[in-house]
Amino acid sequence: MEPLPDRLPLIIGVTGHRDLRLSDVPELEQQVASMIEALRRDYLGNDNEVPIIILSALAEGADRLVARVGLAHGARLIAALPLPVDEYRRDFDPGIVPGNMSEFDELLERAMAVPVMPFGSGNSLEAVRTDADQRRAQYRAAGKFIAKHCNVLIALWDGDDKSGAAGGTAEVVRFKREGFALSLSGSVRASLDTSEIGPVIHVMTPRQNAQKHENDPASSVSVAPWGQALVRYHRGGLIRQLTSGAEEFVASLSGHIRPDPRAALGKPERRNLEAWETFEALAALSRNFNREAAALESSSAESDQIAISLRDLIVPANTKPDADIEAVRKHVGEKAGRWCRLYAIADALARDRQRQVRQDWLTVYALGFVAFLCFALFSLAGAGSNLILLIYCFAFVAIFAMFGRAHAGKHQVHFLDYRALAEALRVAVFFRLAGIGAIADAYPIMQPSELGWVKTCLNALALVQSSQEPISTGERPASAGDPDSTSETIVREFWVKGQQAYFAKGTMRHKAFAEKLENIALVLLAVSPFLIVPMVIAFTSAGRGGSASILREVLLLVSGLLPGLGTALNGYSEKLALKAQARQYDRMRMLFERALVLLPERADAQTAPQIRALYSELGTEALKEQAEWVAIYRQRPIEPPK
């Protein structure tokens, strides 16, 4: 099997009945195949840069059907098992369909990863063999795992939501639609987060014993509306959307608040619509990231940026080169290779977009100053200066053209998305070295969809990482591990000390740049009234003829331009949020400095839990700081200077 490329995947979870009617299997296979193709067409743009992964527990019936069809259509398979393999096999021997074990073994062999749910508190292998409730608890854990890690869930289900069976199809669907209840989440934070909530594709699927129930909700196979068809049904086509947008614009001008059309929908319908709209936005972000990553790697000049970003991930805190730095980078690559490579791609893309955004701002403000200069010259030169007027018009049009180009290309949006992802992946690399699992659980909760995308990516990549892990016995999470002394030293030296030095330099750099711009602007604003205006008055009293009159006109022009230039510099500084970012950096500098004070000099069995807890808290704060930084810049979109 070819290794999975360093791309963001689309993960399709599956749940459903074991006792499918054999006569329905061909139609169900056809429906699932059309769903996978529709997802690839409608949300991935038929782009092969986005790998598709089927996440299935490989139980009889629905789980294996979707896995089998997905593999046939080019998807990869990850088998999330509720129990260790040998114990899980007992549930299919003899099973519903005799001889089904060969299918299970074949699919298991083709799976790129087989994460096994760890036993819960007080549970054990012996307990699940003797206690039915403990065994069901493991199935519930697998259902939660699938709901949490998949982007979209396919449910081959009869729609009977009255079933309360732990880990059953109805419960897994409920997890995906509504999130984890407080009694089942294990923590308040997990219930508040709701990162697992997403769209469900419901295939109405009769069970083998359906004829025994008069009120069975499913008597034949059918598919509930989903995806773009569902959105179009509620939102309408392009004409209806344009009409609705125009009505909203008119309503805003008149001061009236137009009611949200979703308010007329019932709660389940509104939740379903919102889930698909969010899914479309997140899929577009992953699709764009993968396309730009492929373009970056295909260019020899630009691919060098990936190598630079990978190198800069591990940089000594001091400026003196470390003789063993290459050995350190090799160790990090062995421990967290995929995380490192994806960090380098995201960082290289973020740097490229950052240069683009800065160029956009400089161009917009430079054109604004040119327009202001031309207007001042035209007002002085009179109506005969048609060339100046043409230049003014050109600059004015160019400003809005540049603004439209930046807005259409989403330069700033992609810069913020890629930077947020890169910084989250940086923390993930060091979490991996420190033996801290579940990086996504440390990400700030209740974020907007753009930052929610980062958490979705972290969950997906953690799942993909399991392909490099040994099959778990269920005794502990597959992602957990005790860091060796080399890894602990790297985390301390290259993350804690490195970030402390980085934030210290960043604080000084942003403060110095902000003060420089403000001082220049202050001088320009002060020069005009206190120096140039008196000179204008002096030349006015000296007379209007000859060189004195020309100099007077020049001074008048300069006196009008200098305040405008000073205001432009102030606006540029404000749009870059230099002072706000300096305050953020200073807070993080103090945080990492404090961590260095608290870290024990040596790690041993007694101090290891404290060190890991400290690293976990540092990572959480770093992710929170990055989310706040993104929020600051989202409030400063590229727009024409005012």
DSSP-derived secondary structure for 433-449: HHT---GGGGSPSS--H
Q: Cα(63)–Cα(402) distance, rounded to whole angstroms?
A: 51
Q: Cα(482)–Cα(488) distance, rounded to whole angstroms?
A: 10
Q: Cα(154)–Cα(144) distance, rounded to whole angstroms?
A: 14
Q: Which two tokens stand for residue 221?
A: 């196979």
Reference 635, options 577, 548, 573, 572; nearest CA is 577
Q: Which amino acid is at 270?
A: R
For 339-375, b/e burial (b = at least 16 CB within 10 A) is: bbbbbbbbbbbbbbbbebbeebbebbbbbbbbbbbbb
Q: Which two tokens stand for residue 270?
A: 């509104």
Residue tagged 């700081």 (tokens): 625
Q: 350: which residues sit within 8 A by CB, 6+ positions away?
A: 415, 418, 419, 421, 422
Q: Cα(271)–Cα(198) distance, rounded to whole angstroms?
A: 9
Q: Is 388 left (phi over 0), alpha (psi -120 to 50) or beta?
A: alpha
Q: What are phi and psi of 475, to 5 degrees?
A: -80, -25
| 188 three-class SS | helix
Q: 94: which residues sit within 8 A by CB, 6+ positions away?
A: none
Q: Which helix (H) or strand (E) holds 201?
A: strand 200-204
Q: Which two tokens stand for residue 176?
A: 């995906």
Residue tagged 């439209």 (tokens): 404
With contact defined as beta carbons under 8 Å apart, do 446 and 461 qualify?
no
Alpha-carbon distances of 532 from 239, 286, 527, 556, 560, rounded to whole Å = 58, 56, 6, 8, 10
Query: For position 33, what pLDDT does the model report?
Result: 97
Reference 226, options 12, 3, 484, 527; nearest CA is 12
Q: Where are the alpha helices (DSSP H) in 131-237?
A: 132-149, 169-178, 182-185, 188-193, 227-235
Query: For position 480, what pLDDT does the model report?
Result: 42
Cβ burial of 28 (10 Å; 0-12, 13-18, 19+) is buried
- DSSP bridge partners of 207: 20
| 269 three-class SS | helix
CA gyration radius for the chain? 30
Q: Where are the alpha helices (DSSP H) in 226-324?
A: 227-235, 238-254, 267-298, 300-313
Q: What's the per-residue H, E or C state across 103-137? A: HHHHHHHHCCECCECCCCCCCCHHHHHHCHHHHHH
Q: Cα(220)–Cα(515) distance, rounded to whole angstroms?
A: 71
Residue tagged 């980078």 (tokens): 329
Instruction: Using the Cα atoms of residue 448, residue 449, residue 454 and residue 460 in order, give the sign of their dihedral.
Output: positive
| 156 three-class SS | strand
Q: Which amino acid is at 624?
A: K
Q: Which two tokens stand for residue 549?
A: 């009159």
For residue 5, whether the previous peptide bond is cis, meaning omega lies within 30 degrees of 0, is no
Domain ranges across the chain: 10-225, 231-298, 311-437+480-634
Q: Which helix (H) or strand (E) holds 363?
A: helix 325-381
For the chain, the distance separating the N- and C-terminal CA atoms, rounded to the nearest angstrom, is 57
Instruction: Write the DSSP string, 508-524.
Output: HHHHHHHHHHHHHHHHH
Q: Cα(158)–Cα(57) distance, rounded to whole angstroms?
A: 19
Class of domain 10-225 as given by CATH: alpha beta
Q: Cα(536)–Cα(548) distance, rounded to whole angstroms?
A: 10
Reference 182, options 192, 172, 173, 195; nearest CA is 192
pTM over 0.75: yes
Q: 280: which residues sit within 8 A by CB, 6+ positions away?
A: 43, 228, 231
Positions in the chain whose pLDDT score sits under 70: 1, 210-218, 236-264, 301-303, 318-323, 375-376, 378-385, 446-450, 466-483, 524-577, 635-642
With contact defined as beta carbons under 8 Å apart, do 257 and 245 qualify?
no
**H helices, E strands: number in the chain:** 23, 6
Q: Which helix (H) or strand (E) holds 222?
A: strand 222-223
